[in-house]
Structure 1
Amino acid sequence: MLPAMGWLRGFGRRRRDLGPVAAGLALFGFGSVEIYVPLAPYVEGESPDLAALPGGWLAVLTVLLAGYCLAVAACGSYPRAAVVLVGVCFVAQSFTPVLPEWPVVPLLALVVVCFACVAVGGRHGPVIAGVSYFVSLGIETTVADDPDWAFIVFVALAVMGPAYAVRMRRAQAERLVALAAEREAAARTDERLRMARELHDIVSHGVAVMVLQAGAAQVMLDSDVRQAHESLDVVQEVGRDVVTELRRLLVILRGEGTLERLPSLRHIEPLLTGVRAAGGRVDVAVNGDLGRVPAAVDVSGYRVLQEALTNAVKHAPGTTVSVAIDVGRTDLRIHAVNDGPRIVRQSDGGGLGLTGISERVELFGGTAVTGPREGGGFEVRVELPLSGDSAAPVPSHTGASV
């Protein structure tokens, strides 16, 4: 599908490039008829009889005609070079027996190429087109001893005014495209951050429990083999849970998952089991109907609680954690407190876990309070608005949490 779309875009560009080429060829054919087929003079009494010109002048006019037509054919791809070329040809023809104002092709070519240069000629296109236009016609009228600057200015305004309007519209379209690209890049960056946070939440809790249980098994391997085996069984079970969770995330990233498979505060038993397996105790109190909680808020609340329990397991093993989940009329409140020792640094690696909690809450316009308690231990207190006007969207098929 994508290669076909690219081919279609390329075909569209080639078709646009063929337009000026076809116009140049048509102009060459019409100009050849002007030169080699005897016609009535365009300006009665002033236009020379082309059929009576020597063959050398006809050859010069043919070369200049080719230059005009080449400039028209190239004005779409090389507008500034084309406007210089048509200006040179116009000036050169001013010194031949046939002035460029009499045949149709020279003036028409000059006007068309100047229009293209102003419209698509880049930063200096209007200046180059203006210089080429006024210098060419200025020299021609001087040589003809018939300066008609009113006509020259009128044609300039009639041609370059609309061309400049086209230029402004193109510039506006390019700005809109650039803005859309910037927004897309920002969205991609935000999506990568959300996926990174989701992976951190999935892995950190399980790995923390596995490390503690593996350490306990190593200590008790010689003194209490049965307990060591139980710790290793916990490591194996938690490892399977982590792998299952990672597979779930990958399935959702492929667009095959649904919102029902995302983490939910209604299913926090695996989190509690991990803490208990690490030797801790968890008391949970739920007030209100969790079914009223929007999916995006539900996932973020689950991840906030997961981070709080992971911190307790990592930094205060064996502690008792009290968790209160309250579903109010307008917000969801989560309060997790452990009674471990007073530890200021609750998250290694630069505090990414607590930073993740703050970022999640900020997306919803909520509040988060994390820190040590005066009597010891650590608490996490979060309020997430239930309003649908929150900044975070409902999780999409990518599976990245909000």
Structure 2
Amino acid sequence: MAWVRDIGRRRGDLATVAAGLALFGFGLAELYVPLPPYVDGEGPDITALSGAWTAVLTVLLAGYGLAVAACRSYPRVAVVLAGVCFTAQSFTPLLPEWPVVPLLALVVACFGCVAVGGRHGPVIGGVSYFVSLGIETTVADDPDWAFIVFVALAVMGPAYAVRMRRAQAERLVALAIEREAAARLDERLRVARELHDIVSHGVTVMVLQAGAAQAVLDSDARQARESLDAVQDVGRDVVIELRRLLVVLRGAEGGTERLPSLRHLDPLLAGVRAAGGQVDVTVNGDLGRVPAAVDVSGYRVLQEALTNAAKHAPGATVSVSIDVGRTDLRVRVVDNGPRAGRRSDGSGYGLTGISERVELFGGTASSGPREGDGFEVRVELPLSAKSMAPALAETGAPG
């Protein structure tokens, strides 16, 4: 939309330049072409001016035209120029009270300064207007302040209204830019969480399998090959998950079958089991009742919890409990690994990512060592549409 605003701005600048040229041409016609007086029997005899005064008035006409032409691009300079020319003409034989060009140029410049003249535009416009007209009426010995104030109100009132509308539009644009920046930041964080969930789990299992293959490479070639096959399988799954993420990022169409789900845990559990761990899963309730957005987030939470267990407690037994209640989904992951020296350094982002993901749904997440040995991760995700609204807007998953 920036190019649209640029085109509109250029058209406005061209319009004011054309108005300035037209006003200058009309002033030259007033000055050099014998025209009948605007009011019969009134008005100065322009033809009686000397050549020097005619040249001075021509320069002042150029100043008026330049002020009108620049009233949009340089409003404060334009109104000062119009006021100086108006004041200077007050000391010539042809006072600015009679020809139409001087007053019209001053009024247009004041309107532009008040409307688009920045923070001090109204003050500069008002001072230029009242000072120049005050000097002119004093020199002419005809102080018609009622007319001066009436014209000021008629011009500056609408100009100030335009100023307020422009300020409101600028605030709306700034707010839109701020919201867009926040949305982009949220999108980057979402992608970062997805990448962490996908890559961290797969790489952890692959490292453990590669380590197991290296340990038995000389003594048990068959076991080593099985471990390397598991590395290949997990790597292939990671690539598939990354491709799914790219599909979402590119906006390609795809149904919910493309998304990971708690109803399809075999690939996830196979990686942990291949790394030497034992996983027992208990499901209570109908997973078909779980909305897609909650289902995906529950899967990612479980994936990170299993990765956490495989990384810090390799070979431990992990118990997974998935309960679908009437109002929420509860996921509980418990392992019996050693407690000492485990996830207390806070150097990873897994548990933090779980908390952030759950907060999007208005749910709760807790994690920590159990009494004795082991570690527990407990998550509750509400199933209500109201609680899911922010997450649905972010993930784009259907409810």
> Is the TM-score greater than 0.5?
yes
Relative to structure 1, the CA distance from residue 249 to residue 142 in structure 2 (aligned partners, 3 Å threshold; closer, same or farther) is: same
1:175 aligns with 2:175: no
* Counterpart in the other structure of 1:291: 288
* Counterpart in the other structure of 1:384: 381
1:55 aligns with 2:35: no
1:307 aligns with 2:304: yes
What does 1:239-254 align with in structure 2 at a 5 Å threshold? 239-254=235-250
Matched position secondary structure for 1:370: strand
1:336 aligns with 2:333: yes
- In structure 2, give the amino acid aligned to 1:229: R
Q: Count the aligned residue pairs.
A: 397
Relative to structure 1, the CA distance from residue 108 to residue 300 in structure 2 (aligned partners, 3 Å threshold; closer, same or farther) is: same
* Counterpart in the other structure of 1:260: 257
Q: How far apart, CA to CA, are the structure 2 residues paired with 1:30 and 1:142?
A: 27
Matched position secondary structure for 2:385: coil
Q: Does the CA-based 8 Å contact 2:187-2:394 persist in structure 1?
A: no
- In structure 2, give the amino acid aligned to 1:305: L
Which deviates more from structure 2 when the two are superposed, residues 352-361 or residues 248-257? 248-257
* Counterpart in the other structure of 1:394: 392
Identity of aligned residues (%): 81
Relative to structure 1, the CA distance from residue 395 to residue 169 in structure 2 (aligned partners, 3 Å threshold; closer, same or farther) is: closer
Q: Unaligned regions of 5+ residues in structure 2, if any? A: none
* Counterpart in the other structure of 1:156: 152
1:11 aligns with 2:45: no
Q: Does the CA-based 8 Å contact 2:293-2:395 persist in structure 1?
A: no
Shift in Å, 1:117:
0.4
Q: How far apart, CA to CA, are the structure 1 residues paired with 2:47 and 2:355?
A: 88
- In structure 2, give the amino acid aligned to 1:72: V
- In structure 2, give the amino acid aligned to 1:394: L
Q: How far apart, CA to CA, are the structure 2 residues paired with 1:111 and 1:343?
A: 82
Shift in Å, 1:51:
1.1
1:366 aligns with 2:363: yes
The correspondence for 1:221, drawn from 217, 221, 241, is: 217
* Counterpart in the other structure of 2:229: 233
Relative to structure 1, the CA distance from residue 354 to residue 175 in structure 2 (aligned partners, 3 Å threshold; closer, same or farther) is: same
- In structure 2, give the amino acid aligned to 1:116: G
Q: How far apart, CA to CA, are the structure 2 residues paired with 1:119 and 1:13?
A: 14
Shift in Å, 1:286:
1.1
Matched position secondary structure for 2:392: coil
The correspondence for 1:356, drawn from 353, 357, 366, is: 353
- In structure 2, give the amino acid aligned to 1:95: F
- In structure 1, give the amino acid aligned to 2:18: A
Q: How far apart, CA to CA, are the structure 2 residues paired with 1:273 and 1:297?
A: 23
Matched position secondary structure for 1:371: strand
- In structure 2, give the amino acid aligned to 1:388: A
Q: How far apart, CA to CA, are the structure 1 residues paired with 2:7 and 2:321?
A: 63
Q: How far apart, CA to CA, are the structure 2 residues paired with 1:291 and 1:347?
A: 36
Q: How far apart, CA to CA, are the structure 2 residues paired with 1:359 and 1:6?
A: 35
Query: RMSD across aligned C-alpha pairs, in angstroms?
Result: 2.1
The correspondence for 2:94, drawn from 98, 105, 109, is: 98
TM-score, with length taken from structure 2: 0.94
Q: How far apart, CA to CA, are the structure 2 residues paired with 1:116 and 1:361?
A: 53
Shift in Å, 1:8:
5.0
Q: Does the CA-based 8 Å contact 1:344-1:372 persist in structure 2?
A: no
- In structure 1, give the amino acid aligned to 2:329: L
Shift in Å, 1:46:
5.8
Relative to structure 1, the CA distance from residue 286 to residue 321 in structure 2 (aligned partners, 3 Å threshold; closer, same or farther) is: same
